[in-house]
Amino acid sequence: MADMQNQSRRQFLTFTGKVGLSAMVAKAVGINLGMVDIVSAQTGKRGVEPFRFAIISDAHLYSMDNHKFDQQLADAVAQVNAMNPLPDFVLFGGDVAQNGTEDQLVKGKKILSELKMPLKVIPGEHDWYLDMGKAWSGLFGPETWSFDHKGVHFIGLNGILVEDFWTPAGMSPLERMTVMEMLESPIPGPWGVHAKQLEWLKKDVKDLAPDVPVVIFTHGPLWDYYPRWNFQTSDAPEIREILSKFAHVMSFHGHVHQTVYNKIGNMTSVGALSTSWPWPYPPVEKPFPASQMNRVDPSIATDGMGTQFIDLKADGYGIYQHNPFEEGVLTEFLAAGLKV
């Protein structure tokens, strides 16, 4: 009962925050954002049947029993399972594991298996570089995929590929993993999806009509947010070019552990909250909008984490909603409803 009361209070606060942000940002930058714009949205043009999907990202599970990140991922699953309406499916944005070990990945799969709806997963660098994706692929399937759902085309890519730096250096798998775990590691160079996936992407979208809404999912942003921390995807310009024929492309990513938005051409990009820890913002000016999430109460361990959901409307636009764990963290920005 207490949970239900908390939930309804959170929903109320979320709603009030959403309206506040929408009005604030729309006024500040003169763009169409948020719930207020839905009223004027055209409907029925693209034949999309309205539905919701959710995003969970960056669990970073350790090889310890009862680690707090285990519970936080379980909390994310419970939060998604309690959504009304329920999402049709969930996308997981990478970094299930902290060190890429099989036990961490198995634990993540077990916790995520409590979801009431289907799950699609892409890899993060923390999942991959101990065994080059062997355990991850065995548990979660292909790293490159697409599917159509109710008129929307969904694409997932492995965006954490780097050139082989470990063989010339004679590194062990553990040394390779340790290098890839470092945020500012100078050795690996920028991550990308590389030529094979670019060719796959070209073929995947070749026969799609330009008015089909496209959702693309990569671990890192498809723009140069802060390459020094690999807050980028090296071949994002090529991806954006391949998708340039579409009227609307929505790019969702994990890795940054914070809210961040951008829009380049036809592509709106949104970064997901993590379930593990909130990452500090890099020292760059964010393009859109300029505000950033607050940590209202640093004494709350889960402040700045949560899940997110997207409501796809009949016109092919989506309303994006961050869903923080703690109502104490709720600011106007975190509760943003973003039209993408």
Q: Give contact residues for Fe ion (rule: CB under 5 A).
A: 58, 95, 124-125, 255
Query: Smallest distance, Å, CB 230 to Fe ion?
Result: 8
Q: In the complex with Fe ion, which residue's Cβ is closer, 145 or 279?
A: 279
Q: Is the dihedral of CA 256, 261, 263, 266 positive or negative?
A: positive
Question: Among residues 79, 82, 123, 86, which one has the least CA distance to residue 104?
Answer: 123
Q: In the complex with Fe ion, which residue's Cβ is closer, 255 or 286?
A: 255
The distance of Cα 289 from the centroid of its chain, to the nearest Å, equals 18
Q: In the complex with Fe ion, which residue's Cβ is closer, 14 or 258?
A: 258
Query: Smallest distance, Å, CB 84 to Fe ion?
Result: 29
Residue 207 phi/psi, 5° resolution?
-95, 5
Q: In the complex with Fe ion, which residue's Cβ is closer, 95 or 204?
A: 95
d(C-alpha 164, C-alpha 162), whole Å? 6
Query: Smallest distance, Å, CB 139 to Fe ion?
Result: 18
* Residue 51 tokens, joined: 């539905």
Query: Smallest distance, Å, CB 228 to Fe ion?
Result: 14
Half-sphere exposure of 312 (CA within 13 A, CB side): 27
Query: Smallest distance, Å, CB 59 to Fe ion?
Result: 8
Radius of gyration of the chain (CA): 19
Query: Smallest distance, Å, CB 181 to Fe ion?
Result: 9
Q: In the complex with Fe ion, which residue's Cβ is closer, 83 or 119?
A: 119
List strands edge to edge, sheet with 306-312: 119-121, 89-92, 51-56, 306-312, 318-324, 337-339
Cβ atoms within 10 A of the Cβ of 186, count? 8
Q: In the complex with Fe ion, which residue's Cβ is closer, 95 or 235?
A: 95
Angle formed by the axes of helices 68-81 and 102-112, nearest 10°: 30
Q: How far is CA 190 from CA 104, 168, 207, 228, in A?
A: 25, 18, 31, 9
Q: In the complex with Fe ion, which residue's Cβ is closer, 162 or 214?
A: 162
Query: Smallest distance, Å, CB 95 to Fe ion?
Result: 4
